[in-house]
Amino acid sequence: MDYSQGDLVSHIHWVLAKPAVPGWEDIRQTVSGHTFYYIYSGKGVFRRGEKDDIVEGGTLAYLRPGMSLYMKSSDTHPIRMTMMLFDCAMLRKVGNGWDPLKPVEQLQLPFLMHFHKDGMRRIGSLFHEAESEWVPGDPGSEARVKSVWYRLIQELHESAEAEWSKGQEEGLAVVLRRFKEKLDRGFASELRISELAAKSGFSPVYIRRTFTARFGCSPKEYLDRLRNEHAVRRLQYTGDSVTDIARVCGYQDVYQFSKAFKKRNGLSPTEYRRKQRTDS
């Protein structure tokens, strides 16, 4: 599921510190939620199915709901780690109301992330904080741990994005960024995405595929969303006519604008504006 970090909400079920005991073995007991395991020190093996991954200090493992995991600690360098079990969902504000809560089936994070120096310090500090604050059944404690979760989610997504960029061909990363900037800045003009893609030096099919992998939707869907977001705000916060809003938001005519707007928002532009003013 595509999601915005700003729309995520969470419920923390459990935070557990696992002491460094030589040679311990365990399996992931609860698979109905999301789980983070952060390893402060030591070495061991995490096994998913037939695949063994060597893990050590500075490693974070993320398991989506349903994933099984076998864990074994080294006899000579036992693993010391903290587990965080949680559920999360997307809650989006729409106008003066809220969309229904949508559970997030999988965060946009890899199974294993490796941190060094400053990264280890930041991530380790957050898990230490969650570990020290966790008191189950205490609303104040749970709120504090939830605030740690939000900071942790931001750190992990930023790290995953940086790692993604490193793993991509540098030229492609630059092309995708510039391609998106052209959509961001030129949304009001009559853009032809296939022509923009062709000018990038890569095939349009490749640009569409890599753009979707990077930003969670196709270039056309991104442009449609962007135009709609600009239109929503102009309807809500200005007195501009529907015709003028259609023009400055990149639609060919009022008919195309009204049809696209109603399909995405469930109301015509005029009905949406009237509802916003009635509800405010």
- Using the 3D structure, point to which of 167, 186, 218 is the last residue of a domain: 167
pLDDT 10s digits, 15-34: 999 989 999 999 999 999 99
Query: Does residue 246 contact residue 253 with C-beta atoms inside 8 Å?
Result: yes
In three-state secondary structure terms, 18 is strand
Give residue 130's domain range: 5-167
Amino acid code (one letter) for 31: V
- Using the 3D structure, point to which of 150, 167, 184 is the last residue of a domain: 167
Residues 9, 88, single domain; the answer is yes
- DSSP for 152-207 reads HHHHHHHHHHHHHHHHS-HHHHHHHHHHHHHHHHHTTS---HHHHHHTTTS-HHHH
Residues 98, 231, single domain; the answer is no
**How many independent structural domains does the chain possess?**
2
pLDDT over 70 (residue 7): yes
* pLDDT at residue 95 in the model: 77
Residues 97, 231, single domain; the answer is no
Which of 78-92, 170-184, 248-262 has the least mean pLDDT? 170-184
Average pLDDT taken over every residue of the chain: 90
* Residues present in the chain in total: 280
Residues 136, 190, single domain; the answer is no
Residues 109, 141, single domain; the answer is yes
* pLDDT at residue 168 in the model: 56
pLDDT range class, residue 78, cuts 50, 70, 90: very high
Residues 40, 62, single domain; the answer is yes
Main-chain phi, psi angles of 247, to 5 degrees = -65, -50
Residues 236-252 have a mean pLDDT of 94
Residues 30, 157, single domain; the answer is yes
CATH of the domain at 51: 2.60.120.280
Amino acid code (one letter) for 203: S
pLDDT range class, residue 196, cuts 50, 70, 90: confident
pLDDT over 90 (residue 194): no
Residues 147, 61, single domain; the answer is yes
Residues 206, 80, single domain; the answer is no
Residues 24, 64, single domain; the answer is yes
CATH of the domain at 232: 1.10.10.60
Residues 203, 276, single domain; the answer is yes
- Using the 3D structure, point to which of 116, 143, 167 is the last residue of a domain: 167
Residues 227, 120, single domain; the answer is no
